[in-house]
Structure 1
Amino acid sequence: MQESIESRLKWLLRLTLLGTLLTVLVILVGAWTRLVDAGLGCPDWPGCYGRLVVPDSEYAALRHPDAPLDASKAWVEMAHRYIATLLGMLVIGALVLGWPLRKKSQYPWRISLVLMAAIVVQGAFGAFTVTLKLWPQVVTLHLLGGLSVLMLFLWLHLRLRGVAQHKALGSKRLNVWWGMAAGLLIVQLALGGWVTSNYAGIACQGIPTCNGQWWPGMDIHEGFHLTQTVGPNYLHGQLHAEARTAIHFVHRVGAVLLGLSLIILLYQYRRHPIIRRSLGWVVGVFFLQVALGALNVLMWLPLWLALIHTAGAVLLSIAMLLAWWQWRQENECAFNRSFDACYPTQKVPAGRGI
């Protein structure tokens, strides 16, 4: 019996690690789909012109005469859907493998259920992205949903690793400093999604000024008007220049606030070697992300660099979650330099929460 449990845990660890990596790939392929304007490469969902593979142009014209087939864009969109489907299958596999262990002490069954719910919602957003013709609200939520799935997969993997190693789950909750940094990171990720979904990536020219001014002409009300009409084709955006400038400029301000919060958080744990090292990685990735953002503006948003900027946002999210995991597991020996000394193997008490 014990051998069967350990075998399942090993497979679950592999599956959740693979799921984490595959989610990163799904996010990046989704970003590429958006960057090459392939989001409407297939005008319907879940098929492409009613088929599970991209059809020929004659069939496409009969099926959707109002949406001429661009085969290259259609294949990019379908590749994204195929990989996302595989990811959904991994989530189902994790549920099936974990079912016999759901009552085991410390087993993160609730996280598995939340992950399943998140992947279903994410699939719905994928459909709405097409049927609502790239409505910015849906595109932004779809991006945040992808990052949420990534964080859940990674958190599930970390929890399963703790169960496999018989390590107690840290009981700490977010304090004001962690809460501020995490909240600003989420806001900044949402702003990044809003920038890309409204095609505002180069609405501000120049660094550090925007269009030659420290406070450029902006239409903040229109830029953040969240009740835009549903129905128009939002490919390439619908907003005027000053509204897009407002979106881009606020994203820059968000980066400044996030950077300050991360530096303050690092300063708070400057005497904790393990936490300081983890937060050092977070701050390092953040400044790399700032540099990538600046280069995107100066180089007029080349596709490859915009994709790397998205990858930087993913890496920053992962680094932040890992740092929080380290802090949450911290105990009285947090000043030691040995990870093993701070996290001794011990029996897992019953009844601990998610």
Structure 2
Amino acid sequence: MNAGSQRRLNWLVWLTLAGTLFTTVVMLVGAWTRLVDAGLGCPDWPGCYGKLLVPDSEHAYLHHPDAPLDPFKASMEMFHRYLATLLGIVVLLVVRLGWSQRRQAAYPWRLSLVLLVAVIIQGAFGAYTVTLKLWPQVVTLHLLGGMCVLALFLWLHLRLRRLRRTHDAPRRQPTPWWGMAAGLLVLQLALGGWVSSNYAGIACQGMPTCNGEWWPSMDVSEGFHLTQTVGPNYLHGQLHADARTAIHMGHRLGGLLLGVALIMLWWRTRLAPGMAGPMRLVVALFAIQCLIGAANVLMWLPLWLALVHTAGAIALSMGLLWAWWQWRYACVDIKSKRGCAEVLKLQMS
């Protein structure tokens, strides 16, 4: 690798790290925008009442007489949009800098293109979130899309860091335990988004029981009716109490299944070189996230704590992704008397 390529690679390593951190900020700002009911602060897209900046009340009324202007909510919504636009520019810079590196052996060019496509799709979800008036299906997909962009940024950063070390190490093969944990994590993220988009966070009062019962009255078919028609406005939700209770209980049960899967994964990987620390971190993050979730219910969902719960979901997701990275490569990055094959044989015996 010549000096110019090495310099561009160094820039890409730092740029993808900045992109990872900035994506986290954009997601948290988006979560706060939703929590303060500013998701429809601007009733149109991409502008706000037809303007690139928040207009005055008179202009807003002339443009959208059915949607009175709330300056704070409109400013919050536009702030989130501008941050998302900057994130898109960061992705374009990553692709631009990587163009000259695309023929280099082991350079993750395809992953860079996947990241670009994911950001474009995420932008479309952002537009539909507004134009479809917070339709829960789109809001949930928007959340999952943000997690996808974040995961791609982190994975690309790790790939580029490894490429900078000028070697491509062998990998451990995946096991069904990793697939199960990852699948349940995605399911739990989707359930969390469904709880949030249907305003079911306090549908259950009390913990660990729900409304004084272990198995309360629920309307599962209505709560998880994914093909419902697009209504005029989903701000504050449209489902009745039993449907929201079903959604909330589904999120709790999903968390229980995820916890069992993560503990089993920790048990199966604890002897592998380099895995004790990452998996302990994942289990600890999950335990903290459970405590935050319980506190949200017991404290009637204070906004700041709901935001912390979102941050916990991000931390848990990135922790599991980092643990998976360690599983792939730690056996060659960390000196050990036992090779990966021997460790795996010991685990499966």
Is the TM value for this pair above 0.5? yes
- 2:117 alignment partner in structure 1: 117
Change (3 A) 1:110 1:61: same
Letter of the 1:300 counterpart = W
- 2:141 alignment partner in structure 1: 141
- 2:3 alignment partner in structure 1: 3
- Look up the SS of the partner of 1:68 in the other structure: coil
For the 8 Å contact 1:57–1:69, the answer to whether it is kept is yes
Change (3 A) 1:170 1:119: farther
Change (3 A) 1:334 1:169: closer
Q: Distance in 2 between matches of 1:173 and 1:97?
A: 31
- 1:197 alignment partner in structure 2: 197
Structure 1 residue 136: deviation in Å? 0.1
Q: Distance in 2 between matches of 1:54 and 1:134?
A: 20
1:276-304 deviation per Cα after TM superposition (whole angstroms, max 9, x unaligned)? 21010000000000000000000000000
Change (3 A) 1:300 1:337: farther
Q: Distance in 1 between matches of 2:256 and 2:262?
A: 10
- 2:321 alignment partner in structure 1: 321
Q: Distance in 2 between matches of 1:333 and 1:223?
A: 47
Stretches (4+) displaced over 4 A: 332-335
Give aligned-pair identity as a percent. 65
For the 8 Å contact 1:170–1:330, the answer to whether it is kept is no
Q: Distance in 1 between matches of 2:45 and 2:337?
A: 52
Q: Distance in 2 between matches of 1:86 and 1:170?
A: 36
Number of residue pairs the alignment of both structures matches: 340
Q: Could you tell which deviates more after superposition, 75-84 or 160-169?
A: 160-169
Q: Distance in 2 between matches of 1:54 and 1:202?
A: 33
1:109-158 deviation per Cα after TM superposition (whole angstroms, max 9, x unaligned)? 00000000000000000000000000000000000000000000000000
- 2:163 alignment partner in structure 1: 163
Q: Distance in 2 between matches of 1:70 and 1:42?
A: 9
For the 8 Å contact 1:272–1:335, the answer to whether it is kept is no
Bigger relative contact order, structure 1 or 2 (CA pairs below 8 A, ≥6 apart): 1
- 1:283 alignment partner in structure 2: 283
Structure 1 residue 271: deviation in Å? 1.6
1:40-79 maps to which residues of 2 (within 5 A)?
40-79=40-79
Change (3 A) 1:53 1:337: farther
Structure 1 residue 335: deviation in Å? 7.4
For the 8 Å contact 1:274–1:337, the answer to whether it is kept is no
- 2:302 alignment partner in structure 1: 302
Q: Distance in 1 between matches of 2:21 and 2:301?
A: 26
- 2:97 alignment partner in structure 1: 97
Unaligned runs of 5+ in 1: 343-354
Letter of the 1:5 counterpart = S
- 1:81 alignment partner in structure 2: 81
Letter of the 1:322 counterpart = W
Letter of the 1:52 counterpart = L
Structure 1 residue 203: deviation in Å? 0.3
Structure 1 residue 333: deviation in Å? 8.1
1:191-340 maps to which residues of 2 (within 5 A)?
191-331=191-331, 336=336
Structure 1 residue 232: deviation in Å? 2.0
For the 8 Å contact 2:273–2:331, the answer to whether it is kept is no
For the 8 Å contact 2:41–2:74, the answer to whether it is kept is yes
1:333-354 deviation per Cα after TM superposition (whole angstroms, max 9, x unaligned)? 867399xx99xxxxxxxxxxxx
Structure 1 residue 87: deviation in Å? 0.2
Change (3 A) 1:337 1:116: farther
Change (3 A) 1:321 1:333: closer
Letter of the 2:329 counterpart = Q
Letter of the 2:239 counterpart = L
Q: Could you tell which deviates more after superposition, 166-175 or 102-111?
A: 166-175
1:190-218 deviation per Cα after TM superposition (whole angstroms, max 9, x unaligned)? 00000000000000111101111111100
- Look up the SS of the partner of 2:274 in the other structure: helix
Letter of the 1:60 counterpart = A
Q: Distance in 2 between matches of 1:171 and 1:119?
A: 29
Letter of the 2:217 counterpart = G
Q: TM-score, normalised by structure 1?
A: 0.93
Unaligned runs of 5+ in 2: 341-349
The alignment's C-alpha RMSD in Å is: 1.7
- 1:151 alignment partner in structure 2: 151
Change (3 A) 1:170 1:20: farther
Letter of the 1:16 counterpart = T
- 1:349 alignment partner in structure 2: none
Q: Distance in 1 between matches of 2:58 and 2:164?
A: 55
For the 8 Å contact 1:133–1:235, the answer to whether it is kept is yes
Structure 1 residue 228: deviation in Å? 1.2
- Look up the SS of the partner of 2:149 in the other structure: helix
